[in-house]
């Protein structure tokens, strides 16, 4: 149980509040769905229960939260955790390099729209939403009943945009079309090829450098972008379970406007590295990160991991001292728990029991049963087997167990930023609270929850990526 601490609100003292009893209790397997709902409507009340959280208004209209840890001991279940002070800079230093209007132009607020009644399909529609094509996405959404509809609608839209000569839009639409395709669907490789071809044709006049990093028997694929003036440092970015680094090009462009060099890479099991090299994912993420740092001779970087990358980035930071700052964008304490909690409590209990007992035939049988009943389960397991290089659903679930940060968090010694969406439909909010007390040796810890008030409440702040980036860059400036 955590002890209440006296903190400050914008420099003014705040009286101690009641200790947190429920959100941090348990064995880490709670799905946190009720917590997410609570945060949607009772954000301030729930935050106050933490006792170590300091509230800030980072814009004129939206409360967000930063966990400011002083040199104090926090106890939970007789374990004592000491977290050093977060360094503070002068007020202006956090924003003097930020061109917020330019960031907003590159990453406009799209808001999390209600385009489809299915939560997962609606999220992906918002994720791939192209500013200026909102009516097209609304039309596509109306036609989607299953993943075949998704595929056919986006392929038709992509072809139409390509014929019109809008290569950038066409590339994004081919990428969207590819998303829900089965790994063995021949159209998937064709859509991937179109996405990559048109993306680089659309950006051939931009100052980006394609990077191939030797790794194992193949290469990791990536991009490198530099600022217009002398670099203030390097930010290294990777994604997670189902993205290509090209999707974050505008995000990277916006970072260069603040004076940083950006390197994005697809690691094993990701993007072009998976599709071209057929290289499965590894939980030992320090290995691909180390390979990139070696190849580019980098010694002092900020590492940003997106989605599952939030878990992977902490793992890399735990073993790679050349990473000086690490950002979990967003938090993912336990990927296995995220996956197994998706189909209801009873299914979760049975799945975990079968995994624990390593009953592969029964686990395969149950997984295939769920895949027949539910489109998203089918996609998730097939994508997981593809990413992890697993020959069966049971092998995939066994591999998932390695993707958590519980055992390695104590090795993280860097400045650390942990982010979360208050209404993330995929990562239980309880994982945010579970992650923070594990970072006992981090040089500093900053924690941020984004809310509906800024249309940033979803997984990885889809709906307001620009706000997420402004907060990340402000944090990097403060801790550099």
Task: Using the predicted structure, report yes or no on whether residue 337 has a pLDDT greater than 70.
Answer: yes
Q: How many helices (H) and strands (E) does the chain have?
A: 19, 14
Residue 179 confidence (pLDDT): 97
Domain contains 370:
yes
Residue 161 counted as domain residue = yes
Please, which pLDDT band fits residue 176 given cuts at 50, 70 and 90? very high
pLDDT of residue 305: 98
Average model confidence (pLDDT) for the chain? 83
Is 347 a member of any domain? yes
Domain membership of residue 2 (yes or no) is no
396 and 418 inside one domain: no
- My answer on whether 424 and 380 are in the same domain is no
60 Cβ contact partners less than 8 Å away, ≥ 6 residues apart: none
Residue 444 lies in a domain: yes
The H or E element that residue 415 is part of is strand 415-421
Residues 247 and 308 in one domain: yes
Q: For 340-388, how does the pLDDT look when each residue is reduced to its tens digit (9 = 90+)?
A: 987 788 888 999 999 999 999 999 999 999 898 888 889 999 999 999 9
The predicted model scores a pTM of 0.84
In this structure, the answer to whether residues 147 and 194 fall within a common structural domain is yes
- One domain for residues 127 and 187: yes
Write the pLDDT tens digit of every residue in 121-151: 999 999 999 999 999 999 999 999 999 999 9
Q: Quick check: is 113 in a domain?
A: no
Pair 429, 396 in one domain? no
- What is the structure's pLDDT at 150? 98
The answer to the question of residue 139 being in a domain is yes
Residues 382 and 332 both lie in one domain:
no
Asked if 324 and 369 sit in the same domain, the reply is: no
**Which of 43-52, 290-299, 329-338 is predicted with the least confidence, judged by mean pLDDT?**
43-52
Q: Is the pLDDT of residue 80 over 60?
A: no
The answer to whether 447 and 475 are in contact (CB under 8 A) is no
pLDDT band at 75 (very low <50, low <70, confident <90, very high): very low
Antiparallel, parallel or unpaired: β 218-225 and 208-215: antiparallel
Last residue of a domain, one of 168, 200, 232: 200
Q: Over pLDDT 90: what percentage of the chain?
A: 74
Write out the residue range of the structural domain in which residue 462 sits. Answer: 100-107+207-336+405-478
For residue 428, how far is the Cα from the chain centroid? 13
Task: Say whether pLDDT at 13 is over 70.
Answer: no
Give the model confidence (pLDDT) of 212-252 as tens digits.
Answer: 999 999 999 999 999 988 899 999 999 999 999 999 999 99
Which of 381, 400, 419 finishes a domain? Answer: 400
Which pLDDT does position 367 carry in this prediction? 92
Alpha helices in 257-359 (DSSP H): 271-277, 286-296, 309-319, 335-340, 345-357
- Of 31, 59, 94, the domain-final residue: 94
Our count of domains for the chain comes to 4
């Amino acid at each position: 149980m955590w002890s209440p601490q006296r903190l400050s609100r914008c420099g003014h003292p705040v009286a101690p509040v009641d200790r947190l009893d429920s959100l941090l209790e348990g064995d880490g397997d709670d799905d946190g769905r009720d917590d997410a709902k609570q945060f949607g409507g009772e954000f301030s009340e729930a935050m106050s229960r933490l006792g170590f959280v300091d509230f800030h208004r980072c814009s004129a209209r939206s409360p967000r939260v930063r966990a400011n840890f002083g040199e104090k001991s926090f106890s939970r279940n007789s374990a004592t955790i000491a977290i050093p002070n977060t360094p503070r800079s002068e007020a202006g230093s956090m924003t003097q390099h930020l061109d917020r209007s330019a960031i907003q132009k590159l990453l406009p607020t799209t808001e999390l729209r209600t385009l489809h009644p299915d939560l997962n399909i609606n999220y992906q529609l918002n994720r791939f939403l192209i500013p200026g094509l909102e009516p097209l996405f609304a039309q596509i959404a109306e036609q989607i009943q299953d993943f075949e509809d998704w595929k056919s609608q986006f392929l038709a839209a992509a072809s139409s945009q390509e014929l019109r000569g809008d290569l950038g839009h066409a590339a994004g639409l081919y990428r969207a079309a590819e998303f829900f395709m089965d790994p063995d669907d021949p159209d998937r490789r064709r859509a991937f090829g179109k996405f990559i071809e048109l993306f680089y044709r659309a950006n051939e006049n931009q100052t980006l450098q394609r990077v191939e990093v030797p790794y194992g028997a193949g290469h990791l694929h990536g991009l490198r972008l530099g600022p217009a003036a002398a670099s203030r440092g390097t930010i290294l970015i990777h994604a997670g379970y189902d993205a290509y680094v090209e999707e974050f090009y505008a995000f990277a462009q916006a970072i260069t406007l603040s004076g940083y060099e950006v390197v994005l890479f697809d690691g094993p099991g990701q993007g072009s590295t998976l599709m071209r090299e057929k290289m499965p994912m590894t939980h030992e993420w320090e290995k691909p990160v180390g390979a990139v740092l070696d190849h580019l001779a980098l010694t002092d970087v900020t590492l940003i991991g997106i989605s599952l990358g939030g878990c992977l980035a902490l793992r890399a930071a735990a073993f790679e001292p050349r990473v000086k700052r690490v950002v979990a964008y967003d938090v993912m304490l336990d990927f296995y728990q995220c996956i197994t909690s998706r189909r209801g409590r009873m299914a979760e209990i049975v799945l975990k029991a079968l995994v624990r007992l390593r009953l592969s035939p029964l686990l395969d049988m149950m997984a295939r049963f769920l895949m027949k009943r539910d489109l998203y389960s089918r996609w998730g397991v097939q994508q997981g087997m593809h990413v992890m290089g697993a020959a069966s659903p049971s092998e995939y679930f066994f591999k998932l167990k390695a993707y958590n940060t519980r055992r390695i968090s104590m090795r993280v010694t860097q400045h650390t930023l942990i982010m979360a969406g208050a209404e993330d439909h995929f990562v239980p909010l309880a994982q945010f609270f579970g992650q923070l007390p594990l970072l006992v040796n981090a040089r500093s810890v900053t924690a941020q929850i984004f809310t509906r008030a800024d249309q940033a409440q979803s997984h990885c702040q889809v709906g307001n990526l620009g706000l997420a980036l402004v907060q990340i860059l402000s944090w990097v400036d403060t801790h550099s």
